[in-house]
Structure 1
Amino acid sequence: MEKELPKTAAFQDEFTSSLLDSTEEVEEGHYLLESATGGYSMLWPKNAVTDGPPFYQRTKDSFEKIIFMKQMKKKTIDTLLAQLIQHTVKVQLNLVLTY
């Protein structure tokens, strides 16, 4: 019987899960990724995904680049966007008041 994969973004994405070494979390919320070049290992967030080129690139054993996206709930994104807008308004207001 095949072991069921964790219900996390990292393991529900076929390409991302192919990069990870184990379904066991090595730290809370993170899995281990051993570089295909053998040059490093890193903690991979359980809600992060990547895709093939251009997000993942490797040249033999000398170069590897991974760009990943962390999946977040819409409420979290809305909160971060509101904070960014609020910060932008404060910066612009400070510029007007000090100018």
Structure 2
Amino acid sequence: MANSPVQAHFLHDSPEDRSVEAWGGIVSARLGDLARELGTTPEEILGALDRGDAEPLMDTARQKKTERERPEAPSLRSLAFTEEELDALRDELEGE
């Protein structure tokens, strides 16, 4: 059986809108792009993460062991979720 390359799946076909990607069940995007895609604001996403059960796999604003400042601006901050966690985030945003 031949190996097939892993391919990204984008939510939109046009290159300008390829800001939210899914690779092997992991969805990643900058916070501002994800908010636009979900029809909400970065602040609402962060509030939903604080309130609900959705937990990102990766958040570039989380402090690491280094002294370096982490980006918090929505245009720089990136998040990654499993598809299931993204569904949980959507549910929290919808108030379910």
Is this a same-fold pair by TM over 0.5? no
> Which is strand-richer, 1 or 2?
1
Larger-gyration structure (1/2): 1
- TM-score where L is the length of structure 2: 0.26
Q: If the length of structure 1 is used for normalisation, what is the TM-score?
A: 0.25
Q: Which has the higher relative contact order, 1 or 2, with Cα contacts under 8 A spaced 6 or more apart?
A: 2
